[in-house]
Amino acid sequence: MRANAILFGWNRSIPGREQQSAQHFQEFVQYLTGLEQRRDITSFETVFLDSHGGDLNGFVLIRGDPTKLDDLAGSTEWITHMTRAVVHLEGAGAIRAATGGVVMERMQVWTKLLPS
């Protein structure tokens, strides 16, 4: 029932750091592609949200084995990418997430806790 995904999201580039954001985005996608090719992650998907006035305007959903994601989140490469992102993005952050069958497992736990 462990989280089998990481959601890395952001609001927007810090004004004046747009070029830095664009360069890092390309490097981050290359990094994730390498992780996928080595099977350190199962897959990743990048999503840009349409303008809506909120503070989440894009994210990358990274799927994988929970143990491998634990290793990833503790790696120097990952921490470096996350630290770089904070330098040029507003609202940058990563959070563990549940997808697929794990969602149903968690829903079962939740529904068991509902009062009768």
- Distance CA(54)–CA(18), nearest Å, equals 19
Please give the CATH number for the structural domain made up of 5-112.
3.30.70.100
Domain boundaries, the chain: 5-112
pLDDT tens-digit readout, 6-29: 999 999 999 999 999 999 999 999
Cα 86 to Cα 5, 31, 108, distances in angstroms: 20, 17, 36
pLDDT tens-digit readout, 49-86: 999 999 999 999 999 999 999 999 999 999 999 999 99
Q: What is the pLDDT of residue 116?
A: 85
Joined together, the tokens standing for residue 48 give: 């840009």
Joined together, the tokens standing for residue 79 give: 């921490």
- Distance CA(107)–CA(72), nearest Å, equals 26
Indicate if the pLDDT at residue 1 is higher than 90.
Answer: no
- Distance CA(7)–CA(21), nearest Å, equals 18
